[in-house]
Amino acid sequence: MALNRELRQLGDQKAAATREIEQLQATTSEYFLSSQQGDLVYALSLQASARPDIVPLLYKGNLLDRATPVRNVIGALAMSKVLDYKSTYGQYEKLNDAAREELSFDRFMAVKVFERDVMQGATQRVAALYDIVATLQQRIEAAERKLASRQRVALALSVLGATLLLYANLVVAKSAEQPGGVGAAHGNVHAPDRVPPA
């Protein structure tokens, strides 16, 4: 049935949008955790008591760690046609490499600004997906109501047909039980005996 097929298609679309939301939320959450750690490491590097042999290693390690969730978000947005993966990640990779070469505020902030723009794109995509899911849910509910209405009509017609068939069978059975059977109703009556002459 076309309506059932439509319901399956709508359900598949809703499931795909929901999976994309979950994926983006998971990757952005992973990024924000790495970003907070990176901020702490950078702030630590500014302290006079910071060990120059350890802090730079922590800083570089964090930049590598946060590149993974950023790459995943860029990939998810690219699959949704929001941006181009190759050019976007290429720009980020250059900024990340430059920041790891030299511990400076400008290079650190360049990475942060680029990451912020990527995460804003992910947030906007999630908001758009929520709208899509809501619209699909409305269409699913409308199709389900229409399908239920058709099923009720089909059930009513089925019950009516069965009732009429039962009634017809009862009429036939009752007619067969009457004296003379069905033929009596057509005037098959015996002629009276002839009266003898006086």
Task: Confirm whether 126 is domain-assigned.
Answer: yes
3-state secondary structure of 133: helix
Task: Confirm whether 121 is domain-assigned.
Answer: yes
* 138: containing domain: 2-143
**Interatomic CA distance for residues 42 and 104, integer angstroms:** 9
pLDDT, tens digit, for every residue of 162-179?
Answer: 888 887 888 887 777 766
Question: What pLDDT, on the 0 to 100 scale, is given for residue 170?
Answer: 80
Question: What pLDDT, on the 0 to 100 scale, is given for residue 2?
Answer: 82
- Give whole-number Cα distances, 55 to 45, 65, 108, 172, 187, in Å: 6, 15, 14, 100, 118
Task: Confirm whether 68 is domain-assigned.
Answer: yes
- Residue 43, domain CATH: 1.20.120
Question: Domains in the chain: how many in total?
Answer: 1
Task: Confirm whether 132 is domain-assigned.
Answer: yes
pTM of the shown model: 0.70
Question: What pLDDT, on the 0 to 100 scale, is given for residue 100?
Answer: 92
Question: What pLDDT, on the 0 to 100 scale, is given for residue 179?
Answer: 64
Number of helices (H), then strands (E), belonging to the chain: the values are: 4, 0
Q: Which residues of the chain have pLDDT under 50?
A: 183-186, 189, 191
Task: Confirm whether 156 is domain-assigned.
Answer: no
Question: What pLDDT, on the 0 to 100 scale, is given for residue 153?
Answer: 81
